[in-house]
Amino acid sequence: MSREYLSDEELQKLISDIELGDMAEAPVHLEEKVLRAIDSSKGTGNKERIRKKKIVEYRMYRMKVALTVAAAIIVMFLVPYSPVTDKFISMREEHVSQNINSEREDASDKFYAEEFSEKKLCTIISQKREETEMRMMNMFK
C-alpha cells in the first residue's frame, strides 16, 4: 500500500499540463451510474429509516398503553368502592352533632359549677377540642 509521490519537477509539469490543456473527460455513463447509485442508496436508507421510525412509534404506543393500564389498576386499588357512602355521611353528621350537644351541656355544667375565668375557659375548650378530634380520628379508623 505504499504510494509513490510525484517529485517537485513532475508535480510542476502536471500542473502546467492541466493549466494549458483541457481537462480529461469522464467516461460517458459515469454520471448515470453515480446518480443511480445515489438513488438506490437513498431508497434503501429511506426504507430502513421508515422501518426504524415505525418501530419506535409502536414501542411508544405500547408504553403509553402499559402506563395507562398501570394507572387504572393503581386507581382501582387506591380508591375503594363504597356504595353506602351517603348513609355513612348522615350517620357521621348525627354523631358529630350529638357530641357537640353533649359537650356543650358538659361545658356549661362545669362553667357554672366552677369559678368562671378566661384561663379555665381556654384550657377546657382546648381539652374538649382535643377529645373531639380524638373521637373523630377513632371513628374513621
pTM above 0.75, yes or no: no
Task: Print the domain residue range for 46.
Answer: 40-81
Residue type, 52: K
Residues 129, 97 within the same domain: yes
Report the pLDDT value the prediction gives residue 95, as an integer from 0 to 100.
64
Residues 74, 98 within the same domain: no
Residues 97, 62 within the same domain: no
Residue 29 lies inside a defined structural domain of this protein: no
On the question of pLDDT at 81 being above 80, the answer is no
Report the pLDDT value the prediction gives residue 1, as an integer from 0 to 100.
44
Report the pLDDT value the prediction gives residue 109, as an integer from 0 to 100.
58
Residue 1 lies inside a defined structural domain of this protein: no
Residue 25 lies inside a defined structural domain of this protein: no
Q: What is the mean pLDDT of the chain?
A: 76
CA distance 43 to 13: 44
Residues 64, 98 within the same domain: no
CA distances, 2 to each of 6, 8, 10, 62, 126 (Å):
13, 19, 18, 56, 99
